[in-house]
Amino acid sequence: MSIAVQLKPIETFRDDYTFSNSPEAIRRFPFPFPEDHYMYSVNIEPHVRGAPGSVYEAVFDTDEHYLSEMEDRRLVLEEDPQRCIVLPHMMDAQWDTLELLMENLAADYPQLFTLARDGSRWSWENKPLGIRHTFTFGDASTLPYGPFEYITRQAQGDFALLDQRDDDLFMDGGMVTTQADWSLAVDAGMSFIEWHAPVPVAHELGVFERALKFLLNLQIGKPVRRLNWTMTINPRLDTSPENYHRWGKDRATVTLENAGRLAHLRVELQTLFRLPRSNAILFGIRCYLISIDELATIPKWAKRMHRVLKTLPAPLVDYKGLTRYRDTVVRYLAPLDDGAALSHGTGPE
C-alpha cells in the first residue's frame, strides 16, 4: 500500500498559532459524535483499515501537519526532557514499538519513510525530517536515543507503554507532548484504574472495569481503537498540567465574537497494539484539532456539535474544562442549528 500525503510547511501550535486545516483535512477529521447526545462508553472497535483518505486508512495516520507536530514535539522535549519516560524493564517494549512503527510507516508511506533490513542491521530513512541511520536492532547504543524515544520523535501522536502484570496494566513508559491536561510524570507507574481515577461518571457506569478486562485479553495482530474528545482554546497541542500557567487563562478569553476562531474540538484517535516480545501494550493517542469555524463548514457537524454541547452533563463539562466557555460556544453555534433531524453517524451528510 502507498498512501499519498502532501505535507504543509511548518505551522505553529503556540505563540502566533498559525495552524489551520486544509479543506481536505477538514473532510477527513474524525468527528466523534454519531448521535445528538454524548455519554461515556467503552466504544472500542477493531483497528482495521478504513476508507481511502480517512484517518483510518493507515495503521499510523500521517497527515499534512506532520512537520509541524514533529517540530512542536522537539520544542517540548528541548524544554522538558521528562515528557519521555520509559522504566528500565521496558526495553523489549521499546524495540517492539520501534519495529511496529517503522514497518507500518514504511509500508504505508514509502515516499516518506524507507526501511531496509539485513539480519539485525537495519537502515531507516525519514525523508521529511532528513534522518538516515543504520543501526543494530537490539543494540540501543547504535541509536542517538533509546529505541522508543528515537521512533516516537518521528511519529505523530503521543504513545504510552502499558506493562501487563498481576491482572492489571501499568503505565511504565510514554512519549507525551500533545496531551489534554494529564501528566506522564504523574501517571508513570500507575495502574489502569489509578490513572483513570479523576474521570467522573464513567466509574459508576463500570466503563473502566469493562475496558480493562477487554484489554488484558488483547491479541497480537488484532489492534483496537476508540475516539475520545475534549476542547481546547487556540490550536495548542501541549495542554499539559506542567504548562497550565501558559494556556489555562485562555479559557477566559472566549467571546461570542471570537468563539468560532478560538474554540477547538480536540479529538484523540486512541489505538492499542499488543506487542510480541514484551507482551506489553502500545497505547497510541493521536490528537486532531479543528476550530469551530472549520467544523461549521460541515453543516451536519455544526448542528450536532451544538446539540452535544448543549446537553452535555454538568460533571463532564467540568471535567473536560469547558465550564468557562461552553455556554458561549453553544450560543455561537445556535444560529447554525435549524433543529432538523440528523442522520446517525459521524460522516458529513
Q: Please compute Rg for the chain using Cα positions.
A: 20
- Residue closest to 13 by CA, chosen among 208, 200, 204, 266: 266
- Residue closest to 195 by CA, chosen among 164, 172, 225: 172
φ, ψ at 271 (rounded to 5°) = -125, 145
Just list the catalytic residues. Answer: 226
Long-range contacts of 251-255 (CB under 8 A, 24+ apart): 251/321, 251/324, 251/325, 252/324, 254/324, 254/325, 254/328, 254/329, 255/328
The residues, any chain, with a CB within 8 Å of residue 248's CB and separated by 6 or more, are none
Alpha-helical runs (H) found in the chain: 23-27, 66-79, 91-108, 147-152, 184-187, 192-195, 207-216, 244-247, 259-262, 292-295, 299-311, 314-319, 326-333
